[in-house]
Copies of this chain bind each other. A is one copy, B any other.
Amino acid sequence: MNVQASGVRALIFDVFGTVVDWHGSVAREVRGLAKAKGLRVNAVKFAKAWRAGYRPAMDRVLRGEAPFEKIDIIHRAILEDVLKQFKVATLTEEEKAHLNLVWHRLKPWPDTVRGLKRLKSKFVIATLSNGNTSLLVNMAKHGGLPWDCVFSSDTFKLFKPDPGMYLGAAGMLDVKPEEVMMVAAHKADLRAAAKCGLKTAFVKRPLEHGRSGTPDLASEPEFTVNAESFLDLADQLGC
């Protein structure tokens, strides 16, 4: 048991990339659709382009330049741009609506469900995602994710890294910030949580951007825990 993690009562999880494999899941569905429709599309580049529009859209909301919208709406607007960029003009409205919900069907990493079950035996486990509630609930049913609670951008009408997300989750769980550990594969998310007084667990996801990706996987002493997987995290937290 990591002694710095003593006193932690709840773990809150980043979802896209940390809990589920957005890159592989989106690329796989785009590849399948392209084959079915006879489209020439690089599915890996398509997935990356779709994801790349996400952070700028949330930042516009956080800067007050756009009203709060659910990620489903933001994903759809980016999808329209990406379809133009990839010169795909033959999808029906129904096909586009279905494709947009691929983010509700993202697949867990191989260690995710077993790890979460172990962590749940000792801690409250909850999402803290920029995804919307229905997306997270559908994803959990689809992938067997055993959350105690789902916190999302539409719970707080904010996006990470706004402090209201981290402190909002602690407040709704009635625990102190230092009793909550943020779990993420992204250092910026953890640093924003640490500024609010939360503990942090960095979980390495080398394949988040596919085989050609080069994510920053270096352990950092500033984080309470650095872990290779959710199973390693469970080991380090004594579950």
A111 to B124, CA, bound (A): 25
Total chain A interface residues with beta-carbon distance under 8 A: 19
Which B residue's beta carbon lies closest to that of A175?
B134
Q: Name the B residues within 8 Å of A172 (CB-CB).
A: 132-134, 154-155
A149 at interface (Cβ–Cβ under 8 A)?
Answer: yes
Q: Name the B residues within 8 Å of A175 (CB-CB).
A: 134
A168 to B132, CA, bound (A): 13
Query: Once the chains bind, are B148 and A140 in contact (CB under 8 Å)?
Result: yes
Query: Once the chains bind, are B174 and A132 in contact (CB under 8 Å)?
Result: yes
Q: Name the B residues within 8 Å of A174 (CB-CB).
A: 70, 72, 132-134
A19 to B141, CA, bound (A): 21
A173 at interface (Cβ–Cβ under 8 A)?
Answer: yes
> Which of chain A's residues 137-168 have a Cβ closer than 8 Å to chain B?
137, 140-141, 148-150, 154-155
Q: Name the B residues within 8 Å of A134 (CB-CB).
A: 172-175
Closest Cβ of chain B to A137, distance in Å, is 5
Which B residue's beta carbon lies closest to that of A121?
B141
Closest Cβ of chain B to A199, distance in Å, is 18
From B72, B140, B141, B149, contact of A137 by CB (8 A): B149
Closest Cβ of chain B to A103, distance in Å, is 13
A237 to B175, CA, bound (A): 38
Q: Name the B residues within 8 Å of A126 (CB-CB).
A: 137
Q: Name the B residues within 8 Å of A154 (CB-CB).
A: 172
Closest Cβ of chain B to A191, distance in Å, is 26
Closest 8 CB pairs of A and B: A134-B174, A133-B172, A137-B149, A134-B173, A149-B150, A137-B148, A124-B137, A154-B172
